[in-house]
Amino acid sequence: MRAQVLLPKIFNFSFTYNTDQRKFKLGDLVEVPFGNSKEIGVVWPGESSDLKKIKIKNINKKIRNFTLNQNLIDFIKWFAMYNMMPLGLVLKMVIGNSKNLSGNIRDLDQNIKKRNEYKLNEEQKNALNFLNLKNNKFDVSVLQGTTGSGKTLVYFERIKKIISEQKQALVLLPEIFLTNEFKSRFFDFFGFEPAVWHSKITPKNRRSIWNGIINNKIKIVIGARSSLLLPFKNLGVIIVDEEHDASYKQDEGVIYHARDMAVARASFEKIPIHLVSSIPSLETFNNIQNKKFRHFKILNRYDNVPLPKTKIINLNLSKIKNRFIADESVEIVKKFLEKKEQVLFFLNRRGYAPYLICKICGHKQVCSNCSMYLTFHKNKNKAICHHCLIERKISSKCKEGKICDYIMYGPGVEKINEEVKKIFPSNKVEIFSSDYMKKKDHINSLFKRITNNKVDILIGTQMISKGFNFPKLNCIVVIDADFSGRGYDLRTTEKNIQLYHQLSGRAGRFSSDSMIIYQTLSPENIILNDIIKNNSDEILKKELSLRKKNLLPPFRRLIAIIVSSNLQSLSSKGAKEIKIHLKKINGIDIMGPVDSPILKIKKKYRSRLLIRIKDKSLVQKQISYTLNTLKISNKIKLTVDVDPVNFG
């Protein structure tokens, strides 16, 4: 007897092994010899080929108590096909580094402490009834609610019902750093800690949680993108929180969109999935309009606390001299600080200054690996590339032999931090940015200080807009409310609506007197004014109309192919040759090749092809087949991005 075994490697096919008269079933995890080592693989569907001239090796042993179910096997196959990724790499995401699968299962759900009692208001009860309506079959429902309306409490109650039926629940969050804040809210509600899954957990925890999930000992998992491929024994519901967030798109390694794949997994598992957002993504909004997704909207904030008042400050009229914070903003902020309330200055730029240009010779600090300006970080006294992370001291010589004298153009959070400390010298100021939040201890202590009102002023990037709950934060100043895209992101409008709506939701969650100030050079901007009127549906409808007219997602599906090489001529030539072969496929338009807007990343020059699919058919199999039959030079690398989010 023979069996097919799929290995967690870069292969798109399984290998044939002898079973030695032992019985194995599909999905069993087994140890097999592979080359000079041993590997853990999965018994996979498929007929064993008749290999007469090759010595077939025996399966060493079955890994006890570990079997992937049929639903997950089918999902892995579909996931690999849809995203045009090797089967083995997708399997690797499921079983990970599985050589040491044994480990103690921490039954995280048993240590129940006294939990806080929460009462849902009428709107929340109606929302819960809406979610509970479809329980044991595939169903996509959208829970939309203004920020601070208590959406999390609603789906916590939903999870409670699911686990009471001895099923498992998965909650997806867009960012790792959200899990700590979320864990404490979870513990208050459920009385126990959830299993938390993301790329930074220790190998020991990884083994323990993986074992607990596959044996149905762990009922609730809170996780980032990769948790979607965990081998749940009896999954009952998937919840995608902040479903609109661009962080759900994985753009390195195995490239996929976790929200879309979560909907697919729910379909294979035949279970409900709830997409949660204050402003849904355009794809989700379109599915709501077309009645494909059920939709419930919570209109009021919890306890009917009003949304912040809004004010636009025209920077063209403000007399700002060598300063980025307008006088009018300063006066408003002072009033909030006098009331012992917290203030946030928001700017979505890390570092101190995004551009460095020598005023003597005009030399620009540009990354040697990427087509990007270096950002000056004052805390390190270095210029850093935010793509390849190269760091460089900014001392360099002009053509005349003098030392360059750099002017720093544009503000980053460090520059605003410096400015704020000069304007408000007696107040405690903290930066809330990914550069400052890498250490777990720092994150936890900063949260405590903010919650205990030991911080007066926060200076934050986009990171702060995502799901944090700061009770005393009642004033937000947006340093630069900019609505222009950079030309290669068709989702600029959509992202801005979501960002500024999320941001306004951080203020005044427990106060009837709160404010968000938009400093802008274009106060007449229609999108900004619609956001202030809380008119997001109208903006999304206009954006959908524009996308339809231009044959863009969600009305046409796109697949990007990025060809990269050490030489620009090679990437361009390779892309042209690939286009010739792809043109033989019916039902697609191929645009390009063009140089990527960010031409060079990590010393690789990049050319792009964009495939637009004319109907709803899945052409990935044909495209994959065409690409796999090409003799591609080893001097170029192909990257395929199905449903690209941006075009950098």
CATH for 79: 3.40.1440.60
C-alpha distance from residue 414 to each of 372, 430, 431, 458 (Å): 20, 10, 8, 12
Query: Does 112 fall in a domain?
Result: no
Share of the chain above pLDDT 70, in %: 88
Beta-strand runs (E) in 395-499: 406-409, 429-432, 457-460, 473-478
Which phi-psi region, left, alpha or beta, contains residue 322 (left: φ > 0; alpha: ψ -120 to 50)?
A: left
pLDDT at residue 226 tops 50: yes
Phi/psi at 501 (nearest 5 deg)? -70, -45
The CA distance from 27 to 16, in Å, is 15
Give pLDDT tens digits for 63-76.
988 899 999 999 99
Query: Does 360 fall in a domain?
Result: no
Per the structure, the complete domain to which residue 46 belongs is given by 2-99
Query: Does 36 fall in a domain?
Result: yes
Residues 510 and 524 in one domain: yes
Q: Yes or no: say if 305 and 504 are a contact pair by the CB < 8 Å rule.
A: no
DSSP character string of 456-484: SEEEE-GGGGSS---TTEEEEEES-----
Residues 239 and 323 in one domain: no
Peptide bond into 593 cis (omega under 30): yes
| Long-range contacts of the stretch 364-370 (C-beta < 8 A, 24+) | 365/392, 365/394, 365/406, 369/600, 369/601, 369/602, 369/603, 370/598, 370/600, 370/601, 370/602
Residues 498 and 594 in one domain: no
How many CA atoms, within 13 angstroms, populate the side-chain half-sphere of residue 634?
Answer: 0
Torsion of CA 485, 486, 491, 492, to 10 degrees: -30
The CA distance from 26 to 28, in Å, is 6
The CA distance from 101 to 203, in Å, is 10
Confidence of residue 193 (pLDDT cuts 50, 70, 90): confident
pLDDT at residue 107 tops 60: no
648 vs 545, which has greater pLDDT?
545
Strand 195-197 with 220-223, pairing: parallel
pLDDT at residue 425 tops 70: yes
Residues 235 and 285 in one domain: yes
Query: Does 182 fall in a domain?
Result: yes
Residues 244 and 319 in one domain: no
Question: Which of 517, 516, 510 lies closest to 453, judged by CA?
Answer: 510
CATH for 607: 3.30.70.600
Query: Does 392 fall in a domain?
Result: no
Residues 229 and 81 in one domain: no
Q: What is the pLDDT, as a whole number, of residue 486?
A: 47
Query: Does 39 fall in a domain?
Result: yes
The CA distance from 569 to 91, in Å, is 36
Residues 333 and 477 in one domain: yes
Residues 42 and 165 in one domain: no
Query: Does 362 fall in a domain?
Result: no
Query: Does 463 fall in a domain?
Result: yes
617, β-bridge pairs:
none
Phi/psi at 555 (nearest 5 deg)? -90, -20
pLDDT at residue 320 tops 60: no
Residues 476 and 535 in one domain: yes
Residues 33 and 83 in one domain: yes
How many structural domains is the chain composed of? 4
**Of 499, 521, 546, which closes a domain?**
546
Residues 295 and 330 in one domain: no
Residues 34 and 131 in one domain: no
Give pLDDT tens digits for 612-629.
998 877 899 999 999 988
The CA distance from 118 to 447, in Å, is 23
